[in-house]
Amino acid sequence: RKEVEQDPGPFNVPEGATVAFNCTYSNSASQSFFWYRQDCRKEPKLLMSVYSSGNEDGRFTAQLNRASQYISLLIRDSKLSDSATYLCVVNQAGTALIFGKGTTLSVSS
């Protein structure tokens, strides 16, 4: 079983749609969780951290379910500029980050 698994997509949605990505991780000792965004042929950049209580940043909402070892990212009112690959990232204390392969989102007008 891979350490971090994501549905690769692609998710094709119209502008204004709400879309949700899911991610599961295998190591129950994982302590920190993140979503990174990677545009086509660009480097990954931190989108947001994921906290146990759930957190929101504008149109983006991240949630964590430790019991199910599951992380989600919800994007509301999708924009064309949201088109990218979204990488789920986890780590245990004292170790390096582990990246999922990413979920590709394509928003069309």
Partner 1 sequence: DAGVIQSPRHEVTEMGQEVTLRCKPISGHDYLFWYRQTMMRGLELLIYFNNNVPIDDSGMPEDRFSAKMPNASFSTLKIQPSEPRDSAVYFCASSLGAWTGGAPDIQYFGAGTRLSVL
Closer to partner 1 by CB, 22 or 32: give it.
32
Summarize as ranges the residues that interact with partner 1 (CB under 8 A). Answer: 31-32, 42-46, 49, 87, 91, 93-94, 96-102
Closer to partner 1 by CB, 49 or 72: give it.
49
Q: What one-character-per-residue DSSP string does 30-97 give?
A: --EEEEEEE-TTS-EEEEEEE-TT-EEETTEEEEEETTTTEEEEEE-S--GGG-EEEEEEEE-TTS--
CB of 43 to partner 1, least distance (A): 4
CB of 20 to partner 1, least distance (A): 21
